């Protein structure tokens, strides 16, 4: 039997990897897993993982690899994922990537492509300080580039819009440094497998998505 495909979105914070993953998953009719969303949910629910993760998220640092891999393993082992899935925000270190390769093997998945969306730091700062997210449905807006019709209210569900605690200038810079030092070595790891696709993220969401769709062959 053919193995189910897995697509990974990688890239610096604010590159749009979450946005693109959210668009691709329904097109492929598979679930979208966002490690950042799962960790934020754990913090909100004050679970054991959430208690550990909170200070890392607030500071813009990565949670320990063991915590990240456990959360990812639990998510991808669910039966909704059996036909494949799209994941963003994981893996984020070389250690996580190696463990993830093993996990996919163990669970019988095929890592099809790693879509690497690249944008420079100035663009990251512009995008993230204006980002607002809906507390209820998770829709993402931007005060300048994609404002909601009514200030502070989600167009889609009427939920309250909020600014992520880690979307402030100071924490964004830490997140970028963490990305540069800990996550960017992944790019070489995946280049060697021939599965890496480089995508220029400094374009409209729809243009980036056209390229993503072409890269995954859908
Ligand atoms: P994101 O929503 O992808 O920007 O992630 C928000 C925060 O969640 C990051 O700054 C980290 O604190 C944490 N996080 C998300 N994914 C991972 C991961 N794979 N490993 C460690 N920490 C993570």
Cβ contact 196:189 at 8 Å: no
**Catalytic site includes residue 165:** no
pTM, rounded to two decimals: 0.91
35 lines ligand 1 (CB under 6 A): yes
Report whether the peptide linkage leading into residue 91 is cis, meaning its omega lies within 30 degrees of zero: yes
User: How far, CA to CA in Å, does 73 sit from each of 14, 70, 90, 133?
Assistant: 25, 5, 11, 26
Write down the residue that tokens 């809906």 correspond to.
134
Domain annotation for the chain: domains and CATH numbers:
4-120+169-216 (3.40.50.300), 130-167 (no CATH)
Q: What secondary structure does DSSP assign to 156-200, as a single string?
A: TT-PBEE--TT-SHHHHHHHHHHIIIIITHHHHHHHHHT-EEEEE
39 close to ligand 1 (CB < 6 Angstrom): yes
Contacts 24+ apart (CB under 8 A), 140-143: 140/18, 140/19
pLDDT confidence of residue 3: 84
Estimate the crossing angle of helix 17-28 against helix 205-216, to 10 degrees: 50
Residue-level pLDDT at 205: 92
The pLDDT assigned to 1 comes to: 62
Task: State whether the beta carbon of 96 lies less than 6 angstroms from ligand 1.
Answer: yes
Task: Name the catalytic one among 40, 92, 113, 127.
Answer: 92
Residues of the chain with pLDDT below 70 are 1, 218
- Calculate how far, in angstroms, residue 152's C-alpha sits from the geometric centre of ligand 1: 25
């Amino acid at each position: 039997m053919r193995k189910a495909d897995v697509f990974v979105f990688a890239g610096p914070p604010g590159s749009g990897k979450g946005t693109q993953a959210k668009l691709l998953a329904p097109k492929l009719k598979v679930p979208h897993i966002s490690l950042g969303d799962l960790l934020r949910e754990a913090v909100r629910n004050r679970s054991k993982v959430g208690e550990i993760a909170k200070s890392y998220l607030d500071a813009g640092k990565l949670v320990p690899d063991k915590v990240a891999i456990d959360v990812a393993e639990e998510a991808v082992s669910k039966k909704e994922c059996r036909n494949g899935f799209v994941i963003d925000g994981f893996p984020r270190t070389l250690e996580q990537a190696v463990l993830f390769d093993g996990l996919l093997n163990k669970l019988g998945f095929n890592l099809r492509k790693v879509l690497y969306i690249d944008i420079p730091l100035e663009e990251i700062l512009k995008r993230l300080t204006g980002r607002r997210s809906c507390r209820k449905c998770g829709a993402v807006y931007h005060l300048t580039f994609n404002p909601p019709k009514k200030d502070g209210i989600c167009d889609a569900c009427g939920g309250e819009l909020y600014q992520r605690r880690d979307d402030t200038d100071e924490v964004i810079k830490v997140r970028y440094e963490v990305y540069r030092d800990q996550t960017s070595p992944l790019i070489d790891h995946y280049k060697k497998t021939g599965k890496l696709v480089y995508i220029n993220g400094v374009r409209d969401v729809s243009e980036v998505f056209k390229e993503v769709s072409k890269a995954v062959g859908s």
